[in-house]
Amino acid sequence: MRSKPGELKCYWSKKENDLLFSWGEGVQKYDGSWLNSWYGYHRGFDDTFLKELESRGYDLSTLKFSVKKKV
């Protein structure tokens, strides 16, 4: 799944059985790394954000996130 220029994406990959991150032209690679860290390591509840979603009964294989940079 390709990102459009200025877009940062996170989505579930059935092939990889994991979240993938992508960024389009104009978005820095470190923004993708930051988003990955936030999803996987951010503490705010008893565990990571993703584990918290799972414990609340959410299906991570349906997770999608997309944001675009301001013009």
- From the CB of residue 36, how many other CB atoms can be counted at a distance below 10 Å? 14
Using the Cα atoms of residue 64, residue 14, residue 54 and residue 41 in order, give the sign of their dihedral.
negative
pLDDT at 36: 84
Residue 60 lies in a domain: yes
Q: Concatenated DSSP letters for 22-46?
A: EE-TTS-HHHHHHHHHHHHH-BSSS
Domain membership of residue 27 (yes or no) is yes
Tokens 């104009």 sit at which residue? 26
Task: Please check whether residue 63 is in contact with residue 19, taking contact to mean a CB–CB distance below 8 angstroms.
Answer: yes
26-50 pLDDT, tens digit each: 998 988 888 888 777 765 556 677 8
Statement: the pTM of the whole predicted model exceeds 0.75:
no
Domain count, the chain: 1
Domain range enclosing 58: 7-68
